[in-house]
A = this chain, B = another copy of it.
Amino acid sequence: MVNTGDTAFILVSAALVMFMTPGLALFYGGMVRNKNVLATIMQSYIIICLVSVSWTLWGYSLSFGPDVGGVIGNLSWFALTDVGLTPSADYATTVPHLAFMVFQLMFAIITPALITGAFAERMKFKTFLVFMILWSTLVYSPLAHWVWGSGGWLAKMGALDFAGGTVVHISSGISALAAVLVIAKRRGHGKEQFIPHNVPMTVTGAAILWFGWFGFNAGSALTSGGLAASAFVATHIAAAAAGLTWLITEWIHRGKPTTLGAASGSVAGLVAITPASGFVGPASALIIGGVAGTLCYLGVMAKSKFGYDDSLDVVGIHGVGGTWGALATGLFATVAVNEAGKDGLFFGNPAQLWIQFVSVVTTWVFAFVMTIIILKVLDATMGLKVSDEEEVRGLDITQHSETAYNV
């Protein structure tokens, strides 16, 4: 039976999660140089359009449709056949099936959008479009099915991922890592200074992300009530704690607390709490977030160490933060918060940590290998990177014949 409160909550949550992707566009857009801001925003914006159509046609069916061997959904829900105004039998049984579908769609949108930060300022737009369709179909849908699909093998194994630590953050973070290994660095990387062109834009984006993340995590309770409230609180506290610890870490390391640091830190906290949000209490959330702020800061430092060009730190924030969060779920989860969950190591169940570890490794390997393959094929056929001259003139003009600001 459809419950009006639950439905209101899921629909509003879906709207909030949708709003995250434009938020991400601003978060990323502010960090690139002037000449690439539109191209960066565009990558997020067009993914909303692109994935919405592919998800409607086949993505949802592959992810959540009737299970095929624990690995993938079949295509019997193609074009949303059988996805109607009444609840589904398997998912979110108090809200219309369409509401669950569209809530999931918003996750399917933002996940590939997260990756775009890795190759910002240098990818060909045409190739980008093809990459995103392929990635969404070949990487996201299987992963979503494994973890959240009825019959998915990771779900059956008992892996906990409340709102997307593996499916969303590890998958995007590790695919980002694969991408920066395949796509050549930006011209001048390591020599020229790539300074954010508009930090207020980035902070605005971070704020929209934070705002939308309430829908992301609390909405993942799929009902309105205690669990949603608990996830909401955990989300907020972790973000706040991570904002502070990132700030403190850089204050110690570099001698200054920065605005971009506070914003980055809070996003790192949101990433880390995502898989745990519906399984842990407020004090655990404080710790998970607090650790994430410092850990992701170190994760970002890694790129200069290893020399890869992860333009906007997708690996350092989503890869590291998502991994930490998925493992931390195995540490801090407690059935006191969520009966449908499990206890973690700190609540007497070390097995859960192992399960989490397996799900993390699986996601790492799967996302990495698949992304490498897709990109290698595209490199050979369409080319990944714009020409040197196009890079110098900027993607806004060369890919889109636009300039962001005309004063």
Interface residues of A (CB under 8 A from B): 2-9, 11-12, 14-16, 18-19, 22, 25-26, 29, 33-34, 37-39, 41-42, 45-46, 48-50, 52-53, 56, 79-80, 83-86, 95-96, 98-99, 101-102, 105, 125, 195-201, 203-204, 207-208, 210-211, 214-215, 218, 223-230, 232-233, 236-237, 239-241, 243-244, 247, 254, 256-260, 262-263, 265-266, 281-283, 286, 337, 396, 399-407
Contact = CB atoms under 8 A, between A and B. Distances in A.
A292 to B, nearest CB: 13
A11 B102 contact: no
Contacts of A265: 49
Which among A34, A49, A244 has the greatest number of chain B C-beta atoms within 10 A? A49
B85 A52 contact: no
A25 B202 CA distance: 13
Given A15-B214, A22-B203, A197 B53 contact: no
Given A11-B218, A337-B85, A404-B199, A236 B52 contact: yes
A247 B46 contact: yes
A3 to B, nearest CB: 6
Contact of A14 (B48, B232, B262, B399): B232
A208 to B, nearest CB: 8
Contacts of A105: 236
Which among A98, A224, A260 has the greatest number of chain B C-beta atoms within 10 A? A224
Contact of A52 (B6, B240, B254): B240
Contacts of A283: 79-80
B42 A259 contact: yes
Which among A215, A240, A337 has the greatest number of chain B C-beta atoms within 10 A? A240
A12 B14 contact: no
A360 B345 CA distance: 52
A4 B2 contact: no
Contacts of A257: 125, 399-400
Contact of A8 (B5, B46, B50): B5
Contacts of A204: 22, 26
Contacts of A196: 406
A257 B396 CA distance: 11
Nearest to A85: B226
Given A11-B9, A404-B198, A102 B229 contact: yes
A49 B262 CA distance: 9
Contact of A53 (B7, B233, B244, B405): B244
Nearest to A102: B233
Given A46-B247, A203-B25, A244-B50, A259 B225 contact: no
List the 7 closest A-B pairs by CB distance, nearest first.
Answer: A4-B5, A85-B226, A22-B207, A52-B240, A5-B5, A49-B243, A96-B229
